[in-house]
Structure 1
Protein backbone atom coordinates (compact mmCIF):
# COMPACT_ATOMS: atom_id res chain seq x y z
CA UNK A 1 0.00 0.00 0.00
CA UNK A 2 1.27 3.49 -0.86
CA UNK A 3 0.27 6.66 0.96
CA UNK A 4 -1.39 8.90 -1.62
CA UNK A 5 -1.20 12.69 -1.40
CA UNK A 6 -4.95 13.11 -0.94
CA UNK A 7 -6.77 16.35 -0.10
CA UNK A 8 -8.77 16.01 3.14
CA UNK A 9 -11.67 18.44 3.52
CA UNK A 10 -14.31 19.21 6.14
CA UNK A 11 -16.61 22.11 7.00
CA UNK A 12 -13.96 24.35 8.60
CA UNK A 13 -10.67 23.20 7.12
CA UNK A 14 -9.06 21.71 4.05
CA UNK A 15 -5.75 19.88 4.23
CA UNK A 16 -3.79 20.16 0.99
CA UNK A 17 -0.58 18.19 0.40
CA UNK A 18 2.17 20.75 1.00
CA UNK A 19 3.92 22.26 -2.04
CA UNK A 20 5.88 25.41 -2.77
CA UNK A 21 2.60 27.03 -3.84
CA UNK A 22 1.83 27.30 -0.12
CA UNK A 23 5.10 29.10 0.70
CA UNK A 24 3.88 32.68 1.14
CA UNK A 25 0.73 31.77 3.06
CA UNK A 26 2.69 29.49 5.35
CA UNK A 27 5.17 32.27 6.08
CA UNK A 28 2.25 34.56 6.98
CA UNK A 29 0.82 31.96 9.36
CA UNK A 30 4.21 31.49 11.04
CA UNK A 31 4.57 35.25 11.53
CA UNK A 32 1.16 35.26 13.29
CA UNK A 33 2.51 34.78 16.79
CA UNK A 34 6.18 34.52 15.80
CA UNK A 35 5.93 30.75 16.07
CA UNK A 36 9.63 30.16 15.39
CA UNK A 37 10.40 31.62 18.83
CA UNK A 38 8.51 28.88 20.68
CA UNK A 39 11.07 26.83 22.61
CA UNK A 40 8.93 23.72 23.12
CA UNK A 41 8.27 22.98 19.47
CA UNK A 42 9.98 23.10 16.07
CA UNK A 43 8.58 25.69 13.68
CA UNK A 44 10.71 27.07 10.85
CA UNK A 45 11.55 30.75 10.59
CA UNK A 46 9.85 32.29 7.53
CA UNK A 47 13.25 32.54 5.81
CA UNK A 48 13.60 28.75 6.16
CA UNK A 49 10.17 27.77 4.82
CA UNK A 50 11.47 26.95 1.32
CA UNK A 51 13.87 24.39 2.80
CA UNK A 52 11.06 23.17 5.09
CA UNK A 53 8.90 22.44 2.03
CA UNK A 54 11.83 20.86 0.17
CA UNK A 55 12.38 18.49 3.10
CA UNK A 56 8.68 17.66 3.26
CA UNK A 57 8.56 16.85 -0.46
CA UNK A 58 11.64 14.64 -0.16
CA UNK A 59 10.08 12.76 2.76
CA UNK A 60 6.86 12.30 0.79
CA UNK A 61 8.85 10.89 -2.14
CA UNK A 62 10.60 8.52 0.28
CA UNK A 63 7.24 7.38 1.65
CA UNK A 64 8.01 8.32 5.25
CA UNK A 65 5.95 11.51 5.64
CA UNK A 66 3.05 13.38 4.10
CA UNK A 67 2.88 17.07 5.00
CA UNK A 68 -0.18 19.27 4.60
CA UNK A 69 -0.98 22.94 4.44
CA UNK A 70 -3.90 23.66 6.77
CA UNK A 71 -6.41 25.93 5.01
CA UNK A 72 -9.07 27.85 6.95
CA UNK A 73 -12.16 27.57 4.74
CA UNK A 74 -13.82 30.64 6.31
CA UNK A 75 -11.05 32.94 5.07
CA UNK A 76 -9.19 30.89 2.48
CA UNK A 77 -5.96 31.62 4.36
CA UNK A 78 -3.27 29.14 5.29
CA UNK A 79 -3.48 28.63 9.05
CA UNK A 80 -0.44 26.40 9.44
CA UNK A 81 0.80 22.91 8.67
CA UNK A 82 0.60 19.33 9.95
CA UNK A 83 1.70 15.94 8.72
CA UNK A 84 1.62 12.17 8.81
CA UNK A 85 5.12 11.03 9.76
CA UNK A 86 7.06 7.94 10.87
CA UNK A 87 4.81 6.08 8.44
CA UNK A 88 5.11 2.31 8.78
CA UNK A 89 2.59 0.73 6.45
CA UNK A 90 3.64 -2.94 6.97
CA UNK A 91 2.92 -2.58 10.71
CA UNK A 92 0.01 -0.20 10.13
CA UNK A 93 1.15 2.63 12.35
CA UNK A 94 2.06 6.27 11.87
CA UNK A 95 2.52 9.50 13.78
CA UNK A 96 0.64 12.77 13.42
CA UNK A 97 2.94 15.64 14.21
CA UNK A 98 4.96 18.68 13.16
CA UNK A 99 1.70 20.58 13.67
CA UNK A 100 1.64 24.35 14.06
CA UNK A 101 -1.01 27.03 13.66
CA UNK A 102 -0.87 30.80 13.59
CA UNK A 103 -2.11 32.45 16.76
CA UNK A 104 -5.38 33.43 15.06
CA UNK A 105 -6.40 29.78 14.70
CA UNK A 106 -5.16 28.30 17.95
CA UNK A 107 -7.89 26.74 20.11
CA UNK A 108 -10.46 26.88 17.32
CA UNK A 109 -12.33 24.26 15.31
CA UNK A 110 -9.62 24.42 12.63
CA UNK A 111 -7.17 22.19 14.50
CA UNK A 112 -9.86 19.95 15.97
CA UNK A 113 -11.36 19.22 12.56
CA UNK A 114 -7.92 18.80 10.97
CA UNK A 115 -7.14 16.07 13.50
CA UNK A 116 -10.56 14.49 12.93
CA UNK A 117 -9.89 14.39 9.17
CA UNK A 118 -6.43 12.93 9.61
CA UNK A 119 -7.47 10.32 12.14
CA UNK A 120 -10.45 9.30 10.01
CA UNK A 121 -8.16 8.92 7.00
CA UNK A 122 -5.59 6.98 9.03
CA UNK A 123 -8.02 4.49 10.54
CA UNK A 124 -10.80 4.24 7.96
CA UNK A 125 -8.93 4.64 4.66
CA UNK A 126 -5.41 3.49 5.42
CA UNK A 127 -6.44 0.84 7.95
CA UNK A 128 -3.95 1.87 10.63
CA UNK A 129 -3.87 0.01 13.94
CA UNK A 130 -2.15 2.84 15.78
CA UNK A 131 -1.61 6.61 15.51
CA UNK A 132 1.02 8.23 17.72
CA UNK A 133 1.52 11.78 18.99
CA UNK A 134 4.85 12.93 20.46
CA UNK A 135 5.49 16.25 22.17
CA UNK A 136 7.92 18.00 24.51
CA UNK A 137 7.03 17.23 28.13
CA UNK A 138 7.25 20.99 28.80
CA UNK A 139 4.58 21.77 26.19
CA UNK A 140 1.52 21.79 28.41
CA UNK A 141 -0.76 23.23 25.73
CA UNK A 142 0.18 20.51 23.26
CA UNK A 143 -0.18 17.74 25.84
CA UNK A 144 -3.64 19.00 26.82
CA UNK A 145 -4.70 19.24 23.18
CA UNK A 146 -3.53 15.69 22.48
CA UNK A 147 -5.40 14.40 25.52
CA UNK A 148 -8.57 16.11 24.27
CA UNK A 149 -8.26 14.09 21.07
CA UNK A 150 -8.88 10.96 23.13
CA UNK A 151 -5.26 9.84 23.10
CA UNK A 152 -3.72 7.74 25.87
CA UNK A 153 -0.49 8.85 27.53
CA UNK A 154 1.92 5.93 27.27
CA UNK A 155 5.07 7.29 28.86
CA UNK A 156 8.14 9.51 28.53
CA UNK A 157 11.13 9.07 26.24
CA UNK A 158 13.96 10.51 28.33
CA UNK A 159 16.60 12.68 26.65
CA UNK A 160 14.95 11.96 23.33
CA UNK A 161 15.79 14.99 21.16
CA UNK A 162 18.17 17.92 21.03
CA UNK A 163 16.27 21.14 20.39
CA UNK A 164 17.56 24.11 18.40
CA UNK A 165 18.64 25.92 21.56
CA UNK A 166 20.61 22.87 22.74
CA UNK A 167 17.99 21.74 25.28
CA UNK A 168 17.87 17.94 25.57
CA UNK A 169 14.17 17.21 25.35
CA UNK A 170 12.15 14.56 27.14
CA UNK A 171 9.26 13.50 24.91
CA UNK A 172 5.76 12.51 26.01
CA UNK A 173 4.24 9.70 23.94
CA UNK A 174 0.49 9.31 23.29
CA UNK A 175 -1.52 7.03 21.06
CA UNK A 176 -4.96 6.33 19.68
CA UNK A 177 -5.53 2.77 18.47
CA UNK A 178 -8.15 1.43 16.11
CA UNK A 179 -9.92 0.04 19.20
CA UNK A 180 -10.07 3.54 20.73
CA UNK A 181 -11.11 5.23 17.51
CA UNK A 182 -14.94 4.87 17.57
CA UNK A 183 -15.28 6.68 20.91
CA UNK A 184 -12.64 9.26 20.02
CA UNK A 185 -14.35 9.93 16.69
CA UNK A 186 -17.73 10.51 18.32
CA UNK A 187 -16.23 12.97 20.79
CA UNK A 188 -14.23 14.86 18.15
CA UNK A 189 -17.22 15.07 15.81
CA UNK A 190 -19.31 16.60 18.61
CA UNK A 191 -16.61 19.13 19.44
CA UNK A 192 -16.16 20.21 15.82
CA UNK A 193 -19.88 20.99 15.67
CA UNK A 194 -19.62 23.35 18.64
CA UNK A 195 -19.32 27.09 17.81
CA UNK A 196 -15.72 27.30 19.04
CA UNK A 197 -14.18 23.90 19.57
CA UNK A 198 -10.94 23.98 21.55
CA UNK A 199 -8.00 22.27 19.91
Structure 2
Protein backbone atom coordinates (compact mmCIF):
# COMPACT_ATOMS: atom_id res chain seq x y z
CA UNK A 1 0.00 0.00 0.00
CA UNK A 2 1.30 3.46 -0.90
CA UNK A 3 2.44 5.87 1.78
CA UNK A 4 -0.20 8.50 2.63
CA UNK A 5 1.95 11.35 3.90
CA UNK A 6 1.23 15.10 3.78
CA UNK A 7 2.62 16.94 0.76
CA UNK A 8 3.72 20.52 1.46
CA UNK A 9 4.75 23.43 -0.74
CA UNK A 10 4.89 27.21 -0.34
CA UNK A 11 1.16 27.79 -0.97
CA UNK A 12 -0.53 24.45 -0.40
CA UNK A 13 -0.40 21.52 1.96
CA UNK A 14 -2.18 18.30 1.06
CA UNK A 15 -3.16 16.54 4.28
CA UNK A 16 -4.59 13.02 4.43
CA UNK A 17 -8.35 13.64 4.49
CA UNK A 18 -9.88 13.15 7.92
CA UNK A 19 -12.99 14.19 9.84
CA UNK A 20 -11.06 17.12 11.35
CA UNK A 21 -11.35 18.67 7.85
CA UNK A 22 -15.16 18.35 7.81
CA UNK A 23 -16.16 21.92 8.65
CA UNK A 24 -13.56 23.49 6.38
CA UNK A 25 -14.51 21.20 3.51
CA UNK A 26 -18.17 22.18 3.96
CA UNK A 27 -17.17 25.83 3.63
CA UNK A 28 -15.12 25.09 0.51
CA UNK A 29 -18.02 23.37 -1.28
CA UNK A 30 -20.34 26.24 -0.29
CA UNK A 31 -17.91 28.66 -2.00
CA UNK A 32 -19.54 28.53 -5.42
CA UNK A 33 -22.16 25.90 -4.48
CA UNK A 34 -19.96 23.30 -6.15
CA UNK A 35 -22.42 20.44 -5.64
CA UNK A 36 -24.77 22.16 -8.13
CA UNK A 37 -22.29 21.86 -11.00
CA UNK A 38 -23.77 19.15 -13.19
CA UNK A 39 -20.38 18.11 -14.54
CA UNK A 40 -18.80 17.15 -11.20
CA UNK A 41 -19.44 14.83 -8.28
CA UNK A 42 -18.75 17.32 -5.47
CA UNK A 43 -20.64 16.48 -2.27
CA UNK A 44 -23.36 18.71 -0.84
CA UNK A 45 -22.35 20.07 2.60
CA UNK A 46 -24.81 17.60 4.17
CA UNK A 47 -22.92 14.74 2.48
CA UNK A 48 -19.35 15.73 3.37
CA UNK A 49 -19.20 13.35 6.35
CA UNK A 50 -20.17 10.43 4.09
CA UNK A 51 -17.64 11.65 1.49
CA UNK A 52 -14.90 11.46 4.15
CA UNK A 53 -16.12 8.04 5.33
CA UNK A 54 -16.01 6.77 1.74
CA UNK A 55 -12.46 8.13 1.36
CA UNK A 56 -11.41 6.25 4.51
CA UNK A 57 -12.96 3.01 3.22
CA UNK A 58 -11.23 3.43 -0.15
CA UNK A 59 -7.93 4.04 1.66
CA UNK A 60 -8.39 0.89 3.75
CA UNK A 61 -9.03 -1.07 0.54
CA UNK A 62 -5.84 0.33 -1.02
CA UNK A 63 -7.85 2.01 -3.77
CA UNK A 64 -7.59 5.76 -3.01
CA UNK A 65 -5.43 8.24 -1.12
CA UNK A 66 -7.62 11.29 -0.42
CA UNK A 67 -6.33 14.68 0.69
CA UNK A 68 -7.69 17.93 2.04
CA UNK A 69 -6.15 20.88 0.19
CA UNK A 70 -5.05 23.47 2.75
CA UNK A 71 -4.28 27.11 1.88
CA UNK A 72 -1.09 27.84 3.83
CA UNK A 73 -1.70 31.61 3.67
CA UNK A 74 -4.99 31.37 5.58
CA UNK A 75 -4.99 27.87 7.06
CA UNK A 76 -8.37 27.35 5.38
CA UNK A 77 -9.49 24.18 3.63
CA UNK A 78 -9.70 25.01 -0.08
CA UNK A 79 -11.01 21.64 -1.27
CA UNK A 80 -10.03 18.04 -1.77
CA UNK A 81 -8.22 15.79 -4.24
CA UNK A 82 -7.02 12.21 -4.36
CA UNK A 83 -4.95 9.53 -5.99
CA UNK A 84 -7.17 6.72 -7.24
CA UNK A 85 -7.16 3.82 -9.70
CA UNK A 86 -3.81 2.97 -8.12
CA UNK A 87 -2.06 0.13 -9.93
CA UNK A 88 1.36 -0.40 -8.36
CA UNK A 89 2.45 -3.37 -10.54
CA UNK A 90 1.83 -1.34 -13.71
CA UNK A 91 3.07 1.90 -12.08
CA UNK A 92 0.08 4.03 -12.91
CA UNK A 93 -2.57 5.97 -11.05
CA UNK A 94 -5.16 8.67 -11.53
CA UNK A 95 -5.46 12.10 -9.94
CA UNK A 96 -9.11 12.97 -9.52
CA UNK A 97 -12.05 13.79 -7.26
CA UNK A 98 -10.46 17.25 -7.30
CA UNK A 99 -12.49 20.27 -6.31
CA UNK A 100 -11.66 23.70 -4.95
CA UNK A 101 -13.90 26.44 -3.65
CA UNK A 102 -14.44 29.13 -6.25
CA UNK A 103 -12.09 31.53 -4.41
CA UNK A 104 -9.15 29.16 -4.97
CA UNK A 105 -9.77 28.16 -8.58
CA UNK A 106 -7.05 29.23 -11.06
CA UNK A 107 -4.69 30.25 -8.26
CA UNK A 108 -1.12 29.39 -7.31
CA UNK A 109 -2.56 27.04 -4.68
CA UNK A 110 -4.21 24.90 -7.36
CA UNK A 111 -1.08 24.88 -9.54
CA UNK A 112 1.10 23.90 -6.60
CA UNK A 113 -1.28 21.16 -5.45
CA UNK A 114 -0.99 19.52 -8.88
CA UNK A 115 2.79 19.97 -8.86
CA UNK A 116 2.99 18.33 -5.41
CA UNK A 117 0.87 15.38 -6.53
CA UNK A 118 2.68 14.84 -9.81
CA UNK A 119 6.08 15.13 -8.11
CA UNK A 120 5.01 12.59 -5.49
CA UNK A 121 3.65 10.24 -8.17
CA UNK A 122 6.70 10.30 -10.45
CA UNK A 123 9.59 10.97 -8.06
CA UNK A 124 8.52 9.32 -4.80
CA UNK A 125 6.15 6.55 -5.89
CA UNK A 126 7.95 5.67 -9.14
CA UNK A 127 4.87 5.88 -11.36
CA UNK A 128 5.22 5.78 -15.13
CA UNK A 129 1.77 7.18 -15.91
CA UNK A 130 -0.65 9.59 -14.24
CA UNK A 131 -4.16 9.88 -15.65
CA UNK A 132 -6.85 12.54 -15.37
CA UNK A 133 -10.50 12.01 -16.32
CA UNK A 134 -13.13 14.70 -16.67
CA UNK A 135 -16.62 15.12 -18.05
CA UNK A 136 -16.63 15.87 -21.77
CA UNK A 137 -18.96 18.80 -20.93
CA UNK A 138 -16.61 20.27 -18.30
CA UNK A 139 -14.73 22.79 -20.43
CA UNK A 140 -13.17 24.46 -17.37
CA UNK A 141 -11.66 21.21 -16.10
CA UNK A 142 -10.51 20.15 -19.56
CA UNK A 143 -8.70 23.47 -20.03
CA UNK A 144 -7.12 23.25 -16.56
CA UNK A 145 -5.82 19.73 -17.22
CA UNK A 146 -4.46 20.75 -20.62
CA UNK A 147 -2.67 23.73 -18.99
CA UNK A 148 -0.78 21.23 -16.82
CA UNK A 149 0.76 19.81 -19.98
CA UNK A 150 -1.29 16.61 -19.90
CA UNK A 151 -2.01 14.99 -23.27
CA UNK A 152 -5.60 14.33 -24.26
CA UNK A 153 -5.77 10.68 -25.33
CA UNK A 154 -9.42 10.17 -26.12
CA UNK A 155 -12.99 9.93 -24.93
CA UNK A 156 -14.42 7.08 -22.87
CA UNK A 157 -17.99 6.86 -24.13
CA UNK A 158 -20.89 6.14 -21.76
CA UNK A 159 -18.33 6.06 -18.95
CA UNK A 160 -20.29 7.14 -15.86
CA UNK A 161 -23.80 7.88 -14.66
CA UNK A 162 -24.10 11.28 -13.00
CA UNK A 163 -26.34 12.08 -10.03
CA UNK A 164 -29.04 13.48 -12.31
CA UNK A 165 -29.06 10.26 -14.37
CA UNK A 166 -27.15 11.71 -17.33
CA UNK A 167 -24.76 9.19 -18.87
CA UNK A 168 -21.40 10.92 -19.03
CA UNK A 169 -18.65 10.61 -21.60
CA UNK A 170 -15.24 11.18 -19.98
CA UNK A 171 -12.15 12.72 -21.56
CA UNK A 172 -8.92 10.88 -20.72
CA UNK A 173 -5.68 12.82 -20.28
CA UNK A 174 -2.28 11.57 -19.17
CA UNK A 175 1.21 12.61 -18.19
CA UNK A 176 3.77 9.86 -18.73
CA UNK A 177 7.30 9.64 -17.39
CA UNK A 178 8.99 11.09 -20.52
CA UNK A 179 6.60 14.10 -20.32
CA UNK A 180 7.32 14.75 -16.65
CA UNK A 181 10.45 16.99 -16.90
CA UNK A 182 8.69 19.44 -19.27
CA UNK A 183 5.46 19.37 -17.25
CA UNK A 184 7.41 19.99 -14.05
CA UNK A 185 9.22 22.96 -15.66
CA UNK A 186 5.93 24.42 -16.88
CA UNK A 187 4.31 24.20 -13.44
CA UNK A 188 7.42 25.45 -11.63
CA UNK A 189 7.68 28.44 -14.00
CA UNK A 190 3.98 29.21 -13.58
CA UNK A 191 4.38 29.17 -9.80
CA UNK A 192 7.42 31.44 -9.98
CA UNK A 193 5.43 33.98 -12.01
CA UNK A 194 2.54 33.82 -9.53
CA UNK A 195 4.76 34.33 -6.48
CA UNK A 196 6.08 37.84 -5.78
CA UNK A 197 9.87 38.00 -5.37
TM-based fold match above 0.5: yes
Displaced runs of 4+ in structure 1, greater than 6 A?
Answer: none
**What's the secondary structure of 1:156's corresponding residue?**
strand
- What CA distance in whole angstroms lies between the structure 2 residues aligned with 1:48 and 1:134? 23
Show the counterpart of 1:65.
Answer: 64
| Separation in structure 2 between the aligned mates of residue 128 and residue 142 of structure 1, nearest angstrom | 23
Q: Indicate yes or no: 2:116 matched with 1:117.
A: yes
How far off is 1:77 after superposition?
Answer: 0.2
Q: SS of 1:179's equivalent?
A: helix
1: CA distance, partners of 2:27 / 2:192? 27
After TM superposition, give the deviation of residue 4 of structure 1 in Å. Answer: 1.1
Give CA-to-partner distance per residue, 1:30-57, whole Å, 9 cap, x none. Answer: 0010000000011000000110000000
Q: C-alpha distance in 1, partners of 2:174/2:4?
A: 23
Name the residue aligned to 1:151.
150
User: In structure 1, how many angstroms separate the alpha carbons of the residues matched to 2:194 and 2:95?
Assistant: 25
Q: Secondary structure at the match of 2:42?
A: coil
2:129 and 2:187 mapped to 1: Cα distance?
Answer: 17
Question: What is the 5 A alignment of 1:132-171?
Answer: 132-171=131-170
Structure 1 residue 32 and structure 2 residue 31: aligned? yes
> Under a length normalisation based on structure 2, what TM-score does the superposition of the two structures give?
0.98
Gapped regions of structure 2 (runs ≥ 5): none
Deviation at 1:5, TM superposition (A): 1.2
How far, CA to CA, are the matches of 2:36 and 2:188 in structure 1? 32
Total equivalences in the alignment: 195
User: What is the aligned partner in structure 2 of residue 127 from structure 1?
Assistant: 126
TM-score normalised by the chain length of structure 1: 0.97
Separation (CA, whole Å) in 2 of partners of 1:178 and 1:60: 25
Q: Distance in 1 between matches of 2:19 and 2:52?
A: 6
* Offset at residue 194 of structure 1 (A): 1.7
Give 1:3's aligned residue. 2
SS of the aligned residue for 2:2 comes to coil
SS at match of 2:193: coil
Cα drift, residue 195 of structure 1:
2.3
